[in-house]
């Protein structure tokens, strides 16, 4: 069964609209795990507009499943990751002012940068995943860099899925197959939802983990967090 990692950034976004600690990010993480999530994902950005660096430090001791930190590998974030030692870091090529992730790495152009970062993280015992598009060349580049996994950027799939699911999934199947041939683990994330997740999961047999935040937290507003996590996990069976 593919593992579900819940991205709790949106919980922090809501908290940050007011002073205080409502909703409580730590409690949200604990509840996600109690309700069946196999991991917690956070994506701290330099302006700390949602997850703060202090949140990352507070979360580390209480997470009992897998802790995944996403982000662009600037020195401040790398130092934080090396301090708290999550199970996995997912390197994402976000600009500092990006609203959300909107592209995967060009693993050819940024090979030297990423090779050094990946080596530093792996030396500290942290599994490293590279956020890439469904492009075989970029997958091959991730292997040459020394990554342990890739995370497929699934927004193009999600956008095309309502119109032609088979066409939407085709490049992701090719990318995942190439990753398997290169002994790269395959994760996925971005705009996966209850509408498209089951099809994606059934089409990618070597999928290890999905990271889902926006759609899951939005669904939880209507259905409650426990039932929502259950429904997402049902899509992954």
Summarised one tens digit per residue, pLDDT across range 106-137 is 999 999 999 999 999 999 999 999 999 999 99
Annotated catalytic residue, options 33, 50, 66, 70: 70
User: Hey, what domains does the chain have and what are their CATH numbers?
Assistant: 3-235 (3.20.20.70)
Average pLDDT over every residue of 231-235: 98
- Other C-beta atoms within 10 Å of 13: how many? 15
- Would residue 190 show up in a list of annotated catalytic residues for this protein? yes
* Per-residue CA distances from 44 to 65, 77, 213, 223 (Å): 19, 8, 13, 27
Per residue in 5-36, pLDDT tens? 999 999 999 999 999 999 999 999 999 999 99
Average pLDDT of the residues in 207-233: 98
**136-143: average pLDDT:** 98
Name the H helices within the chain: 9-15, 25-34, 53-59, 75-84, 111-123, 136-145, 155-160, 165-181, 197-203, 214-223, 225-235
Tally of helices (H runs) and strands (E runs) in the chain: 11, 8
Alpha-carbon torsion, ordered 56, 142, 232, 44, to 10 deg: 20
Residues 163-203 have pLDDT tens digits of 999 999 999 999 999 999 999 999 999 999 999 999 999 99
In the residue annotation, 70 being an active-site residue is answered as: yes
Active site residue 214: no
pLDDT surpasses 60 at 83: yes
Q: What is the pLDDT of residue 94?
A: 77
Catalytic residue among 33, 43, 50, 151: 43
């Amino acid at each position: 069964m593919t593992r579900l990692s819940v991205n709790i950034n949106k919980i922090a976004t809501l908290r940050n609209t007011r002073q205080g600690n409502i909703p409580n990010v730590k409690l949200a993480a604990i509840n996600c795990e109690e309700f069946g999530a196999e991991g917690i994902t956070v994506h701290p950005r330099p302006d700390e507009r949602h997850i703060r660096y202090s949140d990352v430090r507070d979360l580390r001791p209480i997470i009992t499943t897998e802790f995944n930190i996403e982000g662009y590998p600037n020195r401040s974030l790398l130092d934080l990751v090396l301090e708290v030692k999550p199970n996995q870091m997912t390197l994402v090529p976000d600009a500092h002012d990006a609203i959300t992730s909107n592209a995967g790495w060009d693993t050819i152009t940024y090979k030297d940068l990423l090779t050094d970062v990946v080596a530093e993280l792996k030396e500290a015992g942290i599994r490293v995943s590279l956020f890439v598009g469904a492009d075989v060349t970029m997958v091959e580049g991730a292997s040459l860099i020394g990554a342990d996994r890739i995370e497929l950027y699934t927004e193009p799939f999600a956008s095309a899925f309502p119109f032609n699911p088979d066409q939407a999934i085709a490049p992701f199947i090719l990318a995942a197959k190439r990753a398997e041939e290169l002994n790269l683990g395959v994760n996925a994330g971005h705009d996966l939802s209850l509408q498209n997740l089951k099809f994606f999961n059934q089409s990618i047999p070597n999928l290890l983990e999905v990271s889902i935040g926006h759609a899951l937290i939005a669904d939880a507003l209507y259905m409650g967090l426990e039932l929502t996590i259950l429904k997402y996990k049902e899509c992954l069976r």
